[in-house]
Amino acid sequence: MTVRVFVVILAVALMGTAAQAQEFGTPERSGAPNAAVPCSSSDDCPVLTLDDVRRRVLATSPSARANRLEDDRAAARVLNARGGFEPALVSGYEYKTQDDTDKLNVLRSGVSWPLNLPASPTLKFDYRRGLGSSIDPSVKTSRVGETRLGLSFAPLGGFRTDKSRAALDKARLAPRRADALQARKRNRLLLKASRAFWDWVKARQTLEVSRGLLRLAERRQALVTKKARAGQIPAVDSVDAARTTASRQATLEKARRTAREKRIKLATFLWEEDGSPATFRYAPPDLDMPAPVDTTRRADAVETALARRPMLRVMDLKRQKTEIEQRLAQERLRPKVKLEAQAVSYTDSPLNISDVKVGFEVDQPFFSRSRRSEVEKTEIALRDLKLKQDIARRTVRADVKSALAALSQAHRRAQSAQRNERLAEQLRRLEQRRFEQGQGTLFVLNKREQSLAKARKQFIAAQISTLKAHATFQWATGTIADPYVDGGRRTGSDSPRE
């Protein structure tokens, strides 16, 4: 009898310890709502869906906002390249006296306007006036001065391209390259946010399973302790019930910590409109399995990926840019001959032409080693890009096939886990009935409950694996951002290789 009393006292002490541990383990539920406080199952918090997360990420995330700056960079490149074809004013004046006599009085003013045409033509309009006693005869003019209107061009080169036209052609690729770069970064950002979201949902669902298991243990502990005090059952059963409660309390604390970590990670993707971190206080959605993907239509998925993956578009634009550089290098192999013709007027009227000035200039290295090396460099770069494009296409095909295989396997795993959960629930109910009828033991019932909790967690993990595999498949085909872009294709892929 003394031993029984001692055991009962020990059980009561363990109960108090467990209750105290639970009390210390839940301070986060009190206090005012803020970003650090999670939304418990008893609170009426808004449900956060994957669609909500993706839209908010693209609308408010600093990463998405920085990504949209690519359009501004592209516009700046085009503006800079167009500056190579704008007219320029060149003016100058020199004046010098000696013994109260004009020794040098020279005025020069003109406009030069390069044109975006073959042969690199440049329009020129000049006015010159040179007076003084010590002026160069080639600069000396009448007091009226002289006006020149002419044209310079390269007859042997610049028909396909020249330096300014090549710069403009490359700049015109910048908007398309900006779109491709934005799509690549956007798809990668959406994939990361999707994975963080499903990790948070998994942690919250697992936390609810642990809470339910603990509540069941607490109710059973109270019942068993009451019966043990009444002498209806052995006191050791109350000790076992207290131990089970303590064990499940520890499991719950671990689940809480995991849920907190995943919530903090997901919160880094959510921002307010003013750029401040958003308050994260949401409830997870119910898990719904995505529709199975027809794995027999693998060829269609691969073709979609080859047409939509931003990585391939970026590489294709880089190839076009290198081809422009190759044409420029080939043009520079031609002799650089510059012809110039000007009509000269020595009167007040620029149209009263009385003279013509012509000239030419030749600049041609004997061996053209530097220019030939530029051609070879561009040819090597093009061959290198072709090889990289072949590898990239192969990688895209592999990403799609791998995503399809992972999605199919995840669906099968989820179906098996669901059957396992149903069987575990059936076993627990049967064991509960046997225990209530006095035929079973508390030890076996606890084992059945633990098996059911494990089966539920496995089913949750399988569902999350399927949903993450679906997001990966969307990334692999380049369609993950389609619902969030203008016209279904723009707003604002899954391999870290990209």
Structure tokens at 152: 């310079």
- What's the CATH code of the domain at 437? 1.20.1600.10
Helix (H) or strand (E) holding 337: strand 336-345
Say yes or no to pLDDT of 491 above 50. no
- Chain-centroid distance of CA 240 in Å reads 52
Say yes or no to pLDDT of 38 above 70. no
In sequence order, which residues have a C-beta less than 8 Å from that of residue 100 and are 6 or more positions away?
none
pLDDT band for position 140 (cuts 50, 70, 90): confident
- The pLDDT of residue 134 is 79
pLDDT band for position 5 (cuts 50, 70, 90): very low
Helix (H) or strand (E) holding 44: none
Say yes or no to pLDDT of 346 above 60. yes
Mean pLDDT, range 415-427, rounded to an integer = 94
- Chain-centroid distance of CA 295 in Å reads 27
* Residue closest to 87 by CA, chosen among 124, 137, 52, 138: 124
pTM of the model: 0.80
In degrees and rounded to multiples of 5, residue 121 shows phi and psi of: -75, 150
CB 451 within 8 A of CB 427: yes
In a domain, 294, yes or no: yes
Structure tokens at 493: 């892929």
- Chain-centroid distance of CA 39 in Å reads 29
- The pLDDT of residue 264 is 94
- The pLDDT of residue 278 is 87
Separation between Cα atoms, residue 255 and residue 437, nearest integer Å: 34
In a domain, 394, yes or no: yes
Write down the residue that tokens 């209806």 correspond to. Answer: 232
Provide the domain limits for residue 311: 2-22+35-76+173-319+385-488
**pLDDT single digits (tens) 63-88:** 999 999 999 999 999 999 999 999 99
Q: Dihedral through CA 178, CA 184, CA 185, CA 187, nearest 10?
A: 140
191 SS3 class: helix
**pLDDT single digits (tens) 149-158:** 999 988 887 7
In a domain, 14, yes or no: yes
Write down the residue that tokens 């006599």 correspond to. Answer: 101
Structure tokens at 333: 């192999």
Rounded to the nearest integer, the mean pLDDT of the chain is: 85
Separation between Cα atoms, residue 261 and residue 249, nearest integer Å: 19
In a domain, 248, yes or no: yes
- The pLDDT of residue 287 is 86
In a domain, 392, yes or no: yes
* Residue closest to 483 by CA, chosen among 27, 37, 9, 55: 55
Separation between Cα atoms, residue 226 and residue 242, nearest integer Å: 12
- The pLDDT of residue 310 is 95
- The pLDDT of residue 416 is 94
Q: Dihedral through CA 15, CA 17, CA 18, CA 24, nearest 10?
A: 140
Q: Which of 67-71, 329-333, 349-353, 471-475 has the lowest average pLDDT?
A: 349-353
The one-character DSSP state at 270 is -
* Residue closest to 310 by CA, chosen among 129, 475, 114: 475
* Residue closest to 11 by CA, chosen among 225, 232, 246: 225
**pLDDT single digits (tens) 221-270:** 898 888 888 887 788 878 888 898 999 999 999 999 999 999 999 999 99
Mean pLDDT, range 315-322, rounded to an integer = 96
**pLDDT single digits (tens) 153-199:** 888 877 888 889 999 999 999 999 999 999 999 999 999 999 999 99
Total structural domains within the chain = 1
E-only strand ranges, 77-202: 88-98, 101-114, 122-131, 146-153
- The pLDDT of residue 322 is 96
Say yes or no to pLDDT of 383 above 60. yes
Q: Tell the burial category of 183 from Cβ atoms under 10 Å away from its Cβ (0-12, 13-18, 19+).
A: buried
In a domain, 398, yes or no: yes
336 SS3 class: strand
Could you count the other beta carbons within 10 Å of the beta carbon of residue 220?
19
In a domain, 332, yes or no: no
Choose between 269 and 493: higher pLDDT: 269
Say yes or no to pLDDT of 495 above 50. no
- The pLDDT of residue 496 is 35
Helix (H) or strand (E) holding 355: strand 355-363
- The pLDDT of residue 414 is 93
438 SS3 class: coil
Write down the residue that tokens 């009448």 correspond to. Answer: 142
47 SS3 class: strand
DSSP 356-401: EEEEEEEE--SS-HHHHHHHHHHHHHHHHHHHHHHHHHHHHHHHHH
In a domain, 325, yes or no: no
* Residue closest to 8 by CA, chosen among 294, 322, 239, 170: 239
